[in-house]
Amino acid sequence: MNVTASGRRVLVSGAARGLGRAVARAFASNGDRVAVHFGSREEEARTTLASLEGSGHTLVGGDLAEPAGAVAVVDTAAEALGGIDVLVNNAAVNIRHPLAETPYEEWVAVWQQHVAVNLLATAHLSHLAARRMIDQGGGGRIVNIGSRGAFRGEPDHPAYGATKAAVHALGQSLAVSLAPYGIAVASVAPGFFATERVAPRVAGPEGEAIRAQSPFGRVGSAEEIAAAVLWLASPAAEWSSGTILDLNGASHLRS
């Protein structure tokens, strides 16, 4: 990369809250400039932006379910930052839809939404950002947020598990095709970790069972996931390109 451990231009999709916010903060604390993307949660995204260390950060809104929306997001981020060195594909939807309880029309709509946001938006942003990295010269980094559910199954969220598995496969394909340009691509596969969205579940009746999934007896934190993302985006992690890094506290072990 033509920039070293800091001073990079970073686009984080879905950074209004939760893991996206933690990732944006991790890069900002590292001395990078961050484009904070949001879909519909503008006020929360502004809170993320205001919490970032340093200067030169920017806010980028856009609907990633539409291909034109992905173009607008990347163009706006690159214009504000002066280019893109790192892309973190975090934006995702996760809607409960167990087959036995979900009417067919709803099933179709939920699958289409998951594919559009979780998979196609990741593919589109990766294409747009990588082409900019190629034109800029000096390489770059793409880190995808996958899921433990891609490996162990998600009976109540099958479209989520399936699209996250596809994101893992996409990342490995891009790792091979983009390596000649100095662009490393990796994915993380988090297990259950605490965010604002799941806080009621962790604090409620099912909290004990959720914590018991890991032999550590706790859930992960967004900051732990963000630290791994930051490392995978670092110059030191180039040889990890193509990896899918499990971050689940030994709650699911795969061979």
Residue 173 sits in a domain of what CATH number? 3.40.50.720
| pLDDT of the residue at 5 | 67
Q: Are 72 and 48 in contact (CB under 8 A)?
A: no
Out of 164, 234, 241, 251, which one is annotated catalytic? 164
The answer as to whether 141 is a domain residue is: yes
Residues 75-82: contacts with CB within 8 Å, 24+ apart?
76/35, 77/11, 77/35, 77/37, 78/9, 78/132, 80/35, 81/9, 81/10, 81/11, 81/33, 81/35, 81/56, 82/9
* CA atoms in the 13 A half-sphere facing the CB of 19: 29
Domain assignment present for 44? yes
Tally of domains in the chain: 1
User: Within a domain: residue 92?
Assistant: yes
Q: What angle do CA 76, 78, 79 make, to 5 degrees?
A: 65
> Is 191 within the bounds of a domain?
yes
For 220-245, letters b (16+ CB in 10 Å) and e give bebeebbebbbbbbbeebbeebbbbb
Contact 207, 31 (CB under 8 A): no
Q: Could you tell me which of 232, 240, 216, 248 has the C-alpha nearest to residue 26?
A: 232
pLDDT, residue 76, reads 98
Decide if 254 is inside a domain: no
What does the block give as tokens for 163? 């699209």
The model's pTM: 0.95
Q: Burial of 21 by CB count in 10 Å (0-12 exposed, 13-18 middle, 19+ buried)?
A: buried
Q: Within the chain, which residues score under 50 in pLDDT?
A: 1-3
- The one-letter amino acid at 32: D
Active site residue 147: yes
Instruction: Single out the catalytic residue among 13, 29, 40, 160.
Output: 160
Per-residue confidence (pLDDT) for residue 197, from 0 to 100:
82
164 is catalytic: yes
- Could you confirm whether 104 is annotated as catalytic? no
Alpha helices, DSSP H, located in the chain = 18-29, 42-51, 67-81, 104-114, 121-136, 149-152, 158-178, 199-203, 207-211, 222-232
Asked whether residue 81 is domain-assigned, the answer is: yes
Q: Which residue among 13, 126, 147, 234 is the active-site one?
A: 147
Residue 97 lies in a domain: yes
Range of the domain at 36: 9-247
Quote the pLDDT of residue 3.
40
**Contact indicator for 9, 85 with CB cutoff of 8 Å:** yes
Residue 253 domain flag: no
